[in-house]
Chain A
Amino acid sequence: MSELTRADAPVRRSDVYSVEVDGEAVLLQETDDELHRLNVTAALVWSLLDGVTTLEAIARDISEELELPFARVVDDTVHIANQLRAQHLVQVP
């Protein structure tokens, strides 16, 4: 499985149910009943993974909204997306 890049547009898996709490997210992977907790940053990225918007575009939105350096945000976004994919929480359409 190749690593996701900023050009990819992963999507949240339909068998993952999420609850947002104080900016964090708790995810239930229903196929194996695993629970995952995402910190505020990861939860924000998670919420934007719609299968259409690229990671680069997501990073740009976050960068502009939070007034953070784009280069750092896009690296973090790609890293988070890869972690979510490794845990079978997102997929590439």
Chain B
Amino acid sequence: MTTYRALDFEFVLQVDDPALRDYVETVFDALVVDERATEVLEVIRITATEDGSASRYDVRHGDAELGTGVTAPAAVDAIVQRANSRCVDSSGWLSTHASCVSRDGHAILFAAHSESGKSTLAAGLVRAGFAYVTDEAVAFDWDAGCIQPYPKPISLDPGSWPLFPELDPRATYTDDAPFSQWHVPAAHVGPGRVSAPCRARWLVFPKYEAGADTAIAPITRGEALVEWSKNTFRFNEHGRRALELLGGLVTDVDCYRMTVGDLDDAVARVEELVGA
């Protein structure tokens, strides 16, 4: 039975529908692990909905209902959301709301709230050859501040779909139900592999502005530390322990604010940054 790991959250998927199972296994392929680290077996089940409605599914994680009578794409949404929430709730890591790629062991974080374009940016950079870390939660270990990859499928909103026509999941999974997001494994996006554990080297706060000129500008580490903290999950709960860790990490990081008006321009700016 295939085991998946999202940071500390290990789970197996049981999907009755063979076609949906193939699709789901492809989507979560980067989370597959050879051996389980925990004894507890958590099972996420996707079963045909009990009333017999065609192409409708119930999604359960143990006793929790993640979706009832939902479409196949919505079932995948539910699993992604479950994995995300378990990751950011883990006390074993301090997680920043950010996407992240790496090159030569040096990580570039794009910290921002939802719908700032950070997943799109990560996809563009993976397509350009960067190694993929995550598009949702950058997890730092408490001891050394090393980043543990969480290579979930990259979740693209409809506004980004025209930028990645080759990633349309409907090409491989035929279902009439509409997608709210495309969940794309990084291996389908580009040549970049999944990153090994790495260390933060650049911290960028991106903001997508339609029609704007793409530009990147340095900011002070103090300004970055405040914004980094505000973009860190459960920061208030961790308090000074979190600020102490981020305060130590930020001293090794170059910090920028980036306006993104065009994906290709943004990728080029990041390439320049990393190559500088």
Contacts and interface: CB of A to CB of B under 8 A. Distances in A.
Interface of A: 17, 19-22, 24-26, 28, 30, 33, 35, 37-39
B222 A22 contact: yes
B225 A26 contact: yes
A21 B239 contact: no
B226 A26 contact: yes
A35 B220 contact: no
A21 B225 contact: yes
Contacts of B223: 24, 37
Interface string B204-228: 0000000000000000111101100
B166 interface: no
Interface in B229-276: 229-230, 235-236, 239-240, 243-244, 247, 250-251
Contact of A22 (B221, B235, B236): B221
Nearest to B241: A17
B220 A24 contact: yes
Contact of A24 (B222, B230, B243): B222
8 contacts: A21-B225, A22-B251, A26-B229, A28-B239, A30-B239, A37-B222, A37-B226, A39-B222
Contact of A26 (B236, B239, B243): B243
Contacts of A39: 222
A37 B226 CA distance: 7
Contacts of A25: 222
A24 B221 contact: yes
Nearest to B228: A26
Interface string B92-108: 00000000000000000
A43 to B, nearest CB: 8
B121 to A, nearest CB: 25
Contacts, number: 49
A21 B225 CA distance: 9
Contacts of A38: 222
Contact of B221 (A21, A28, A33, A35): A21
A88 B247 CA distance: 22
Contacts of B251: 21-22
Contact of A19 (B236, B239, B244): B244
Contacts of B239: 17, 28, 30, 33
A36 to B, nearest CB: 8
A19 B226 contact: no
Contacts of A33: 235-236, 239
A17 B243 contact: yes
Contacts of A35: 226, 229-230
A22 B218 CA distance: 14
Given A26-B226, A35-B226, A19 B243 contact: yes
A17 B235 CA distance: 14
A39 B220 CA distance: 10
A25 B222 CA distance: 7
Nearest to B229: A35
Contacts of A17: 239-240, 243-244
Nearest to A26: B225
7 A-B pairs closest in CB distance: A24-B222, A19-B247, A17-B240, A33-B236, A21-B221, A26-B225, A21-B222
A73 B197 CA distance: 48
